Amino acid sequence: MTIFASSRGRARTRTGRRGFRLCAAAWLALAALATAAGSARASSPDQLEDTEAKSEYAYFTEDRHALDHLVGDIKSFAESADPLELYAFAHAEFRRLQLAASAHAPRDAENAGNACLAALDRRGAALVHDPEALALAAACAGYLAEFGGLKHLTAGHRRDASLEAARGLAPANPRVLLVGGILGWFAAPGSPAGRAQARAALARATGFFDAVTATAPGAPTWGGAEAWLFVGRGLEEDGNLVGARNAYERSLLVAPDFAAAKRRLARLAARR
């Protein structure tokens, strides 16, 4: 979530290839609809990709100030009629949410999470047909649900419903697998079965990230580096330090500035 893995492999199943093609087709259709409707979209696909890259770089380098600045620059996206601009804004707020949560700034994290969901909700009924947006909504709601309290019970329900819907639409989408794997990882820290299921989803995600060779213009590409990071964490838990190191190095091949992966590698080196 630079970002994402360049794809050299092939999807292992017919279902996986079909799921990705359907997802890419959906994003192409969305872009076409926005153009046909005459919505004034100021952002070209290259500009949207640049926005994602800036969000990712700030996240990987843990630069909250840069993310704040970026969100200010694209604040008009939050009121856009274009689904791609709404997604780009929500993604930037998701990265703000993650960094704020890591910095133990719950108010900032909650504000970012709410902004993420508000942008996606501007899609209206169309949201339920977009697995990419549903996966991002599940991720933002998942963080909000962790803050506790009655208000966040609603976020927990939204997390679960959004993820289930995304899986139903595109079970082989790498970001759907990634979000499901990460949410499952943190939801079942004491459950071997739950952790194994989460790890399997994350391992599948890396395969599909590697297999993706193209996306629709302006469509999301983030997630590959994080998938490899969590695969490495699972291997490290097993005591497979060589495998963990390889996974962290794969993460850094995707995103060379990923601070979390660098820290993990440094800790492994210190254990020798």
32-55 pLDDT, tens digit each:
544 444 345 468 999 999 999 999
Q: Which of 14-18, 90-94, 133-137 has the lowest mean pLDDT?
A: 14-18
Which residue has tokens 């840069």? 66
Would residue 144 count as lying in a domain?
yes
Q: State residue 192's pLDDT score.
A: 85
Would residue 55 count as lying in a domain?
yes
Which residue has tokens 């989803």? 201
SS3 80: coil
Which residue has tokens 């703000």? 96
pLDDT band of 18, cuts 50, 70, 90: very low
Query: What residues make up the domain containing 167?
Result: 14-270
pLDDT in tens, 76-114: 999 999 999 999 999 999 999 999 999 999 999 999 999
Would residue 115 count as lying in a domain?
yes
Would residue 106 count as lying in a domain?
yes
In the chain, how many domains are there?
A: 1
| Predicted confidence (pLDDT) at residue 3 exceeds the cutoff of 90 | no
Distance CA 244, CA 265 (A): 9
**Cα–Cα separations (whole angstroms), residue 101 to 23, 47, 94, 96, 181:** 30, 28, 11, 8, 19
Would residue 4 count as lying in a domain?
no
Query: Is pTM beyond 0.85 here?
Result: no
* 170 CB-near residues (< 8 Å, 6+ apart): 19, 20, 22, 23, 131, 132, 176
| Predicted confidence (pLDDT) at residue 151 exceeds the cutoff of 90 | no
pLDDT band of 188, cuts 50, 70, 90: confident
Would residue 7 count as lying in a domain?
no
* Percentage of residues of the chain with pLDDT beyond 90: 72
119-128: average pLDDT = 95
Would residue 8 count as lying in a domain?
no
Which residue has tokens 């290839």? 17
Would residue 72 count as lying in a domain?
yes
| Predicted confidence (pLDDT) at residue 69 exceeds the cutoff of 60 | yes
Distance CA 194, CA 36 (A): 45
CATH number at residue 61: 1.25.40.10
